[in-house]
């Protein structure tokens, strides 16, 4: 498949370079608006937790679970009207995947360390004989997520409460560039704002493509180091990215239109 985006490859080439056949699930918190076309079941996920909106066939033990969510403002750090509820639901979906799908690798959106996709074997780590069924109740969970005095989200709480690995899949340069454009968009006037928004939309799609490319690398590194026993992971990403990710996967290639209405990027 031909590359239609800088830094991007066809989805088939991304997966085949690691000889992986991955199932892709988009798990959305209950009530989220999304098309369920082509999904015959909910992947075993209880409907009270969320809905599977897209999936591709794969092998047991070789899966990516993509959870679309709402997160705090990238500019102010404030919670939106649905952020706490959405994050609580993401936590419960992640908890269910840990218990029921043996998911032990968490790949959150965001840039949180200097060197992306570098896995380190923890010699003292041992898989527990059993996992706690409910580490935190719903009331305490929402209270923690609502506290804006500290940076906390579903990913942080899952890592704190369960024996899972955390890995990074963001491209640092793209991530920082998107951050710059978000700040510019928040300060732009009515004349410049639409132009910045067009460029920002393009960069966000490039960012999504880069993260998809980095997922197989992160999974393989953790597996080879023995930090996980199955080649699978939970990938959490903002709802704004879900439509484009599903489009990439459905078409089997990454194609992004350049700002201004041009064709796919060379």
Rounded to the nearest integer, the mean pLDDT of the chain is 75
pLDDT over threshold 60, residue 129: no
Domain presence at residue 2:
no
Q: Is residue 3 predicted with pLDDT exceeding 50?
A: no
Residue 258 forms part of a structural domain:
no
pLDDT in tens, 191-204: 788 888 899 999 99
* pLDDT recorded at residue 98: 93
Residue 173, SS3 per DSSP: helix
Mean pLDDT score, 83-87: 84
User: Is 125 a member of any domain?
Assistant: yes
Domain membership of residue 234 (yes or no) is yes
Residue 6 belongs to a domain: no
pLDDT of residue 208: 92
Summarised one tens digit per residue, pLDDT across range 203-234 is 999 999 999 989 989 999 999 999 999 888 99
Identify whether 1 is part of a domain. no
Average pLDDT over residues 182-197: 85
Region 30-46 average pLDDT: 57
Whether the predicted pLDDT of 116 surpasses 50: no
Q: Is residue 130 predicted with pLDDT exceeding 70?
A: no
pTM for the full model?
0.78
Which conformational region is residue 146 in: left (phi greater than 0), alpha (psi within -120 to 50 degrees), or beta? alpha
Q: How many domains does the chain have?
A: 1
Residue 263 phi, psi (nearest 5): -75, -170
In-domain check, residue 59: yes
Domain residues for the domain of 118 are: 11-251
Separate counts of helices (H) and strands (E) for the chain: 7, 6
Indicate if the pLDDT at residue 136 is higher than 50. yes
pLDDT of residue 241: 87
pLDDT at residue 81 in the model? 60
CA distances from 199 to 216, 239, 245 (A): 28, 19, 18
pLDDT in tens, 230-247: 888 999 988 888 888 888
Q: Does 257 fall in a domain?
A: no
The answer on pLDDT for 33 being more than 80 is no
Handedness of CA 96, 101, 104, 106 (dihedral sign): negative
Per-residue pLDDT band for 119 (boundaries 50, 70, 90) equals very low
At 26, is the pLDDT very low, low, confident or very high (cuts 50, 70, 90)? low
Of 51 and 40, more confident: 51
Q: 52-72 b/e with 16+ CB inside 10 Å = b? A: bbbbbebeeebbbbbbbbbbb
């Amino acid at each position: 498949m031909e590359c239609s985006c800088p830094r991007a490859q066809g989805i088939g080439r991304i997966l085949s370079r690691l000889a992986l056949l991955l199932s892709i699930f988009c798990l959305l918190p209950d009530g989220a608006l999304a098309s369920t076309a082509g999904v015959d079941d909910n992947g075993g996920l209880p409907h009270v937790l969320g809905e599977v909106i897209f999936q591709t066939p794969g092998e047991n033990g070789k899966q990516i679970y993509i959870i679309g969510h709402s997160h705090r403002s990238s500019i102010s750090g404030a919670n939106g009207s649905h952020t706490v509820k959405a994050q609580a639901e993401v936590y419960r979906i992640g908890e269910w995947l840990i218990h029921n799908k043996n998911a032990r690798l968490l790949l959150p959106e965001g840039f949180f360390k200097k060197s992306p996709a570098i896995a380190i074997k923890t010699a003292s780590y041992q898989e527990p004989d059993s996992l706690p069924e409910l580490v935190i109740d719903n009331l305490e969970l929402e209270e923690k997520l609502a506290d804006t005095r500290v940076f906390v989200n579903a990913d942080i709480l899952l890592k704190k409460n369960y024996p899972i690995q955390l890995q990074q899949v963001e491209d640092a340069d793209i991530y920082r560039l998107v951050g710059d454009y978000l700040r510019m968009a928040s300060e732009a006037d009515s004349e410049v704002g639409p132009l910045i928004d067009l460029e920002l939309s393009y960069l966000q799609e490039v960012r999504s493509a880069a993260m998809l490319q980095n997922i197989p690398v992160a999974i393989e590194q953790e597996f080879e180091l023995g930090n996980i026993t199955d080649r699978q992971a939970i990938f959490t990403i903002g709802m704004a990215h879900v439509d484009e990710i599903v489009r990439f996967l459905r078409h089997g290639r990454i194609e992004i239109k350049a700002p201004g209405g041009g064709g796919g990027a060379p």
